[in-house]
Amino acid sequence: MPEGEQGMNVARIATFLAGFPESVSAMTLNRFCSSGLQAIWHVCTNILAGSLDVAIAGGTESMSMIPMGGNKIVPNLRLAEEYPDAYVSMGQTAENVAKRYEVTREEQDRFALLSHERALAAIERGDFRHQIVPLKTFKYDGRGNRVEFTFDTDEGPRPSTLEALSKLPPAFANPATGGTVTAGNSSQMSDGAAALLLMERKRAEELGCRPLAKLHGFVTVGVDPAVMGIGPALAIPKLMERVGKPLGVSLEDIDCCELNEAFASQAVYCIRELAKQGLDPKRVNPNGGAIALGHPLGATGAKLATQLVYWLKENKRRWGIVSMCVGGGMGAAGLFENLTL
């Protein structure tokens, strides 16, 4: 969220820190969890409109620096009275999804375990090596000494077992009331940043760049804020109707779907519903998801787009989707095509 250290138009600040010329302008936008994907679409539409030529779109989030709700949240009193679900915590919405759509604790824990197993396997194979820019930085050891190191591997994925996950207490509800959402089957609070270079294919060829992928379209939907996690289950069908259908592409044709795992409860539900419409569950998050790899809100959309583009390229597959639920009761989705085949 554009607050605190991420305020003051953080995108413009990034251009200065990156050493770009002063002539390079920048803006920051906010659609919570889908901000990174929204930024990509914003740039694409501006390129098509002729107002941009070559641009970078992405996102960043430092959840270790910016608390949930920002520095100070001031609820709208009228909204709180007339639409109290607008201020329901994300964790509570996950509990609501689990209860309303009958997603069991075991289903959530099994899904979380699979996310970690897939992410660890992907790291072991080196699948992320071309996606991550190594960062030289420092940390302090137990004695207070400054130690320099290179950060090049996501810290979230870790070995676990179903038994260990099952012992974790509910994080957002009283166990006596049957809470099932835990720290183990929820996405991690993470720091992260991601960016993509965007331009028309003709311009890429003029610059000697080979395009990796094309974003054919992007949609958003609104849903009940009390169960905001169901967003992808509505956004993806809308995407396929408005964007996929004219291209002759259906859910059966999707080779990879990067569906943000805000919580296992909502991811399990969305995959269950989308499978009824033709999406193969085995093609969702093949290298793990946010439960293992983290969910740096502003960066997630761009991060997932990067993961998808590289997965399609390396596996020689054509079609992919990036989708996520969005705080406040929304869903977002984009359809990508691999151009390296």
DSSP 109: H
Confidence (pLDDT) at 21 = 97
Structurally, how many domains does the chain consist of? 1
Q: Does residue 324 lie within any of the structural domains?
A: yes
CATH number of the domain within which 168 lies: 3.40.47.10
Q: Which residues of the chain have pLDDT under 70?
A: 1-4, 7, 67-77, 79-81, 83-87
Question: Is 198 within the bounds of a domain?
Answer: no
Give residue 108's pLDDT. Answer: 99
Q: Is 84 within the bounds of a domain? A: yes
Q: Full-prediction pTM beyond 0.75?
A: yes
In a domain, 110, yes or no: yes
E strand residue ranges, the chain: 55-62, 135-140, 146-151, 191-198, 213-222, 256-259, 319-326, 330-338
Residue 77 in any domain: the answer is yes
pLDDT the model gives residue 65: 82
235 is a domain residue: yes
- Residue 153 CA to residue 132 CA, distance in Å, equals 8
User: What pLDDT shows up at residue 154?
Assistant: 96
What does the pLDDT read at residue 79? Answer: 66
Question: Helix/strand/coil (H, E, C) string of 282-320?
Answer: HHECCCCCHHHHCCCHHHHHHHHHHHHHHHHHHHCCCEE
Instruction: With respect to residue 63, please indicate whether it lies within any of the assigned structural domains.
Output: no
Query: Is 295 considered catalytic here?
Result: yes
Question: Residue 85's domain spans which residues?
Answer: 73-189+212-341
> Which residue among 44, 256, 257, 325 is the active-site one?
325
Candidate list 33, 44, 257, 270, residue with the active-site label: 33
**Which amino acid does the sequence have at 70?**
G
Exactly one of 42, 44, 256, 295 is catalytic; which is it?
A: 295
Residue 228 belongs to some domain of the structure: yes
**Whole-number pLDDT of residue 179:** 94
CA–CA distance, 317 with 129 (Å, rounded to integer): 19
Could you give the angle at which helices 264-275 and 90-100 cross, rounded to 10 degrees?
Answer: 40
Position 174 scores a pLDDT of 81
| pLDDT score of 84 | 67
